[in-house]
Chain A
Amino acid sequence: MRMKNMTQNQTQSTSANKKISTYLTMIVLIVMALAVTALLIAVETYFVGDQLAAGVLAGIGLIALMLSVFLLYQSKLQSAQVKIEVPKVMTTIECKCGGKTVREFQRGDYVYKELDVPCQKCPTTKQMITAIYREIKEKEKTFNV
């Protein structure tokens, strides 16, 4: 059971992380309110007939609104990111005949350990663990410099 738990990608989160600074939230909310107001004025100005001013106000309002929403979203995202990933570790078993098996790591495995489990091709020969490694699923970001 423990083994199973270990090999599964465990994700754990804590509610404590949902704390967001009051000050920052306040500032973001003020900016949001200003953005909404700017958008309302933009509509009003548009009906008055000043399309240029309406456009400027709508632009400012939208940018401010997007930025504040993004900031709030980022805060939530950061809070939810408490994850401890346990990678999948594989064991490679080889026989002198060239037979090769790859299976999940089991407790007690170590590199260069001779196993009592006989090879399927040549049952008289002992097999050996030749490698224990973890696979990286995501490729690292590359920068063309």
Chain B
Amino acid sequence: MSLIPGSDSSITTIISLLSYVFFIVLIFYGQRIQMYVMIREVENSLHKLRHIKEEGRKNAIDAIKEIGKPTVDPSARVDRYLEYFTIGPQGMDPAGIVNKLDHILDVRDERLKEEVRLMAPSSDETQVNNLENTLEAAMALNFIYKVVRHYYIQGKKTLSLYVIMQIQMILPMVMKEAEAYSSALKAFAYGQPIGDGAGPLVAGKLMQGYETRKLPKDCVMATVPIEGRTALIIKAEGPGGNVGKPGDAVEAVIEENEGKIALLIMIDAGLKLEGEIVGEVSEGIGAAIGGPGVDAYKIEEKLTKYKIRNYAVIVKEDIGDAVSPMRREINDAVDKVIERVKAVIQERTKEGDKVIIVGVGNSIGVGQ
């Protein structure tokens, strides 16, 4: 018995037999071998995630110790913070669910800020915001690690290809997000602007040299003349890490002006598709604002009530760019956005009209 005709040495026979055995093993255990390969891949990523998560925790604790000068070790409190969860409102009767969600988010925000104040008693309001953002990034890393670990252990326990496949298939995206949060941690701790701050950066530039006043909640506004129109420019108050509540701010400004607003322009960072260029500026219609949807709902309600037109300008970037220190391309897009905004104002409004311009996003590292 030989694989090679004309060759009949004993070693050839052995190799032939081994080949058959290997072939049969592959027939019966092929899927299992495939599963082991997947488990190993998830295991490698899990080790990496654990390392990133622990680094994140360490960085957050270091930042709290350095900025907040606590009298006791904040590690235990940080660990408790990382495990916080938020339960969404019951949706069986959806009437009024937005207000319930708004309330829950307010309570969460207050609670987390209070925790940070306790952990870092020497920090000012800007630093509290920055530390809160740092801890939220560490919290996200902790959550990602725990979810991947859950699927990994479940896959190993059940030895089910389909359990492990679920996490293995989305692993590249999960790792990308985790790496982005990891780099965001440093940015938040040091108060560096992030990609999501494209909107506030544009609004801040338009506001320069004009007096600002506070708006609900954690937002600021400046009245600026642009192309013969009056522009009411809104952004989250910086330079601390803060997204504010642009929904409440826009609502307040529209009501103050009794709905006599010609146009609302929202500027935000928008997720790009693969193949699109970072920092590309795009224009559209609708409420350009992410998050749980509360602010978008409030803005849309007011716009519909007063029949105000709504335009959106976005700066394209991926999720990694949105939470990590601002890329040069995004920073360079500011002037292009301003040009677009001015063009929209000139083309769509008359002289003397009032327009609202909202720079949506995290104001970390961006003043006014």
Q: How far is the CA of A85 from the CA of B180 in the complex (A)?
A: 10
For residues 186 through 235 of chain B, which have their beta carbon under 8 Å from a beta carbon of chain A? 186-187, 190-193, 201, 204-205, 208
CB of B270 closer than 8 Å to a CB of A: no
Q: How far is the CA of A41 from the CA of B18 in the complex (A)?
A: 14
User: Which chain B residues border A48 with CB–CB below 8 Å?
Assistant: 6-7
Pick from A57, A75, A133: contact of B330, CB below 8 A.
A133
Asked if A132 and B365 sit within 8 Å, CB to CB, the answer is: yes
Pick from A27, A41, A107, A132: contact of B12, CB below 8 A.
A41
The stretch from B47-55, B147-155, B247-255, B345-353 touching chain A is B47-55
Q: Which residue of A lies closest to B197 (CB)?
A: A111
Min distance, Cβ B259 to any Cβ of chain A, angstroms: 31
User: Which chain A residues border B205 with CB–CB below 8 Å?
Assistant: 112
CB of B238 closer than 8 Å to a CB of A: yes
CB of A131 closer than 8 Å to a CB of B: yes
Query: Given contacts A105-B190, A113-B367, are A143 and B275 in contact (CB under 8 A)?
Result: yes
Pick from A19, A111, A145: contact of B47, CB below 8 A.
A19
Asked if A82 and B48 sit within 8 Å, CB to CB, the answer is: yes
Asked if A110 and B7 sit within 8 Å, CB to CB, the answer is: no
- Mark each residue of chain B from 1 to 35: 1 if its CB lies under 8 Å from any CB of chain A, else 0: 00011110101101100110010000000000100
Pick from B4, B239, B327, B331: contact of A56, CB below 8 A.
B4
Query: Given contacts A50-B4, A112-B368, are A17 and B48 in contact (CB under 8 A)?
Result: yes
User: Which chain A residues border B52 with CB–CB below 8 Å?
Assistant: 84
Determine the interface band of chain B, counting residues with CB < 8 A from chain A. Answer: 35 or more
Asked if B182 and A84 sit within 8 Å, CB to CB, the answer is: yes
Query: Given contacts A41-B12, A105-B192, are A113 and B239 in contact (CB under 8 A)?
Result: yes
For residues 89 through 145 of chain B, which have their beta carbon under 8 Å from a beta carbon of chain A? none
CB of B36 closer than 8 Å to a CB of A: yes
Min distance, Cβ A20 to any Cβ of chain B, angstroms: 7
CB of B300 closer than 8 Å to a CB of A: no
CB of B287 closer than 8 Å to a CB of A: no
- Show 12 A/B contacts (Cβ-Cβ < 8 Å), sorted by A: A23-B33, A24-B40, A30-B22, A34-B15, A53-B6, A79-B47, A82-B47, A109-B191, A110-B191, A110-B366, A112-B368, A136-B328
Given contacts A12-B51, A48-B7, A79-B47, 12 further A-B contacts (CB under 8 A): A17-B48, A21-B43, A40-B11, A41-B4, A82-B47, A86-B183, A87-B183, A110-B191, A132-B326, A133-B328, A134-B324, A136-B327
List residues of A whose CB falls within 8 A of some B CB: 2, 6, 12, 14, 16-17, 19-21, 23-24, 27, 30, 34, 37-38, 40-41, 44-45, 48, 50, 53, 56-57, 75, 78-79, 81-82, 84-87, 89, 105, 107-113, 131-136, 143, 145
